[in-house]
Each structure stands twice: as structure tokens, then as C-alpha cells.
């Protein structure tokens, strides 16, 4: 991806704490003589783009889950903890520049769903949602299919039979 980040960086090191990455969407002017709509700046945190893209991808029929194997496993544990909430950003990575963003999605698809059609529908929905909600131009949406969910892959424990009595 070739999007330049406009986020400030904190000093490197194990104890350095980096602020959440944000992108200035519109440079604002100051002063009472400026129109009200242009007074101040609008910044969009990278997490906003992640969430918008994650929700938009999950809206497409045939998307079973998002994220790689390890992140799905950790997410399943987190989802079962009382009071825990689902991570809509799981499986979504973004690079946000001043006016553009690039998005990477990791998906698990339902068995029997045409992958090329699903990837196209996901791209279209994600691009539409991110551009409409954030005003950023989406330069690319890369879709990686990590797995296919089969009907036998339910989250129940497999039955085991003993070989000895």
C-alpha cells in the first residue's frame, strides 16, 4: 500500500506510549470572520475507519467471520466472557493518509459462496461506506480469504468414542 500516514509518532522504546493515530480531514480556519462551517479542524482516528470497514464487510451475505485463525480464537474467547463485546475491527487493517485510505480485510466465507463475487460485493460495500461516512478516498481494498466455514465446523466439541471399555 502506498498511502502516506499523517499520524504523529511517539518516540520509540518499550515504555513509549503512542497516541491513537488520527488523520486531519479538513484544515480549518480561525477567526470570527470565517464561515462557521470552516472554523476548526476535523480529524478521523484510524480506529473509525477500521470499524466502518468491519461493519460494512460483515453486512455482506456469505461472510461468516473475519480475522485469521489466532485472532478468531482469541475473539471467540472474548465474546464468551460476560460483559465482553464483539470486536468489529477484527480482521481489518488500514493505512490512513491525509485524504486517502487503503484497507486490508481477512475473511472466512460460508461454504458454497462464489468467492470472486463475495470479494467484489465486500469491496463495493466497504468503499461506499468508508467514503460516505469519512469523506476519505479509498484507494484499495485487499481481500484475503483465510478459510471456508463448512456446516460441520460448528463450535461444538467433537464427539469422541472410547476404543476401550
| Report field, pTM of the whole predicted structure over 0.75 | no
pLDDT digits (tens, 9 = 90+) for 145-162: 999 999 887 654 445 555
pLDDT digits (tens, 9 = 90+) for 85-117: 567 888 999 999 989 999 999 999 999 999 999
Q: How many domains is the chain built from?
A: 1
Instruction: Give me the CATH number covering residue 134.
Output: 3.30.70.1350
Predicted confidence (pLDDT) at residue 62 exceeds the cutoff of 90 = yes
Identify the bridge partners of residue 92 per DSSP, sorted by sequence position.
105
CA atoms within 13 A on the CB side of 23: 22
Q: Is residue 140 part of a domain?
A: yes
Cα separations in angstroms, 143 against 41, 46, 51, 115: 32, 19, 16, 10
End-to-end Cα, the chain, rounded Å: 59
Q: Is residue 134 part of a domain?
A: yes
Q: Are β-strands 100-110 and 137-149 bridged in parallel, bridged antiparallel, or unpaired?
A: parallel
Q: Is residue 11 part of a domain?
A: no
Take residue 139 and report the three cell numbers written for it.
484507494
Q: Is residue 158 part of a domain?
A: no
Q: Which domain holds residue 51?
A: 39-80+87-149
Predicted pLDDT at 42: 82
Q: Is residue 53 part of a domain?
A: yes
Measure the CA–CA gap between 54 and 59, rounded to whole angstroms. Answer: 9
Predicted pLDDT at 9: 40
pLDDT digits (tens, 9 = 90+) for 2-31: 444 444 444 444 444 555 676 666 566 677
The values of phi and psi at residue 10, to 5°, are -90, 165
Q: How many helices (H) and strands (E) does the chain have?
A: 3, 6
Amino acid at each position: 500500500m502506498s498511502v502516506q500516514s499523517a499520524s504523529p509518532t511517539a518516540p520509540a522504546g518499550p515504555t513509549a506510549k503512542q497516541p491513537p493515530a488520527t488523520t486531519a480531514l479538513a484544515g480549518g480556519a480561525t477567526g470570527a470572520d470565517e464561515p462557521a462551517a470552516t472554523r476548526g479542524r476535523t480529524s478521523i482516528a484510524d480506529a473509525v475507519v477500521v470499524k466502518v470497514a468491519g461493519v460494512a464487510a460483515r453486512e455482506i451475505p456469505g461472510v461468516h467471520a473475519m480475522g485469521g485463525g489466532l485472532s478468531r480464537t482469541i475473539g471467540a474467547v472474548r465474546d464468551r466472557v460476560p460483559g465482553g463485546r464483539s470486536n468489529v475491527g477484527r480482521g481489518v487493517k488500514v493505512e490512513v493518509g491525509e485524504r486517502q485510505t487503503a484497507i486490508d480485510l481477512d475473511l472466512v466465507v460460508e461454504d458454497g459462496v462464489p468467492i470472486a463475487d463475495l470479494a467484489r460485493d465486500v469491496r463495493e460495500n466497504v468503499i461506499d461506506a468508508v467514503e460516505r461516512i469519512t469523506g476519505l478516498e479509498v484507494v484499495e481494498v485487499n481481500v484475503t480469504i483465510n478459510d471456508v466455514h463448512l456446516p460441520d465446523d460448528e463450535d461444538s466439541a467433537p464427539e469422541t468414542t472410547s476404543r476401550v471399555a
